[in-house]
Amino acid sequence: MVPLGTVRRDHHLSTTVDSIGPVRQPKGFVAHRERVDRQNLQPGDLLYFGASGKKITHTGIYMGDGKFINATTHLTPMVRIDDLNDAYWTKLLVAARRLK
């Protein structure tokens, strides 16, 4: 983990895989997103984490080389870089999308 900054504690995202989109998305801002398999991730792909695909509780942006940037509001709010291959993130990754 590499801490990059702080995050407001009151921000939270909860959605479903079927309605995945950027946080605070203006209506019609992103109309096209394609599914991406983990082995085909490219920098800029959006990552969605949760206990299941029914409820997404965390998001990130893939940076390449197994790393992704994300913001946490739990315990120590910060923007950080994590390794997607860590067991914690591996079990929580439920979807990846690429903007067309």
User: How would DSSP label each residue in 12-43?
Assistant: ---B-GGG---TTPPTTS---EEE--GGG--T
- Residue with the larger pLDDT of the pair 39 and 11: 39
Q: What is the pTM of this model?
A: 0.70
Residue 76 has a pLDDT of 82
Please tell me the distance from the alpha carbon of residue 45 to that of residue 64, in angstroms, as a whole number.
9
- Residue with the larger pLDDT of the pair 13 and 42: 42
Residue 12 has a pLDDT of 41
DSSP run (H or E) holding 87: helix 87-92
Please name which of 82, 94, 100, 95 lies closest in space to residue 36, comparing C-alpha atoms.
95
Residue 32 has a pLDDT of 55
Please tell me the distance from the alpha carbon of residue 18 to that of residue 4, in angstroms, as a whole number.
30
CA atoms within 13 A on the CB side of 75: 0
- State the architecture of 2-99 in CATH terms: Alpha-Beta Complex (3.90)
Mean per-residue pLDDT over the chain, rounded: 76
**Model confidence at 16, in pLDDT bands (50, 70, 90)?**
very low
Look at residue 69 and tell me whether its pLDDT is greater than 60.
Answer: yes
Measured CA to CA in angstroms, residue 72 lies from 13, 45, 46 at distances of: 11, 18, 16
Which stretch of 2-11, 46-55, 61-70, 83-92 has the lowest confidence by average pLDDT? 2-11
Sketch the domain layout of the chain as residue ranges: 2-99
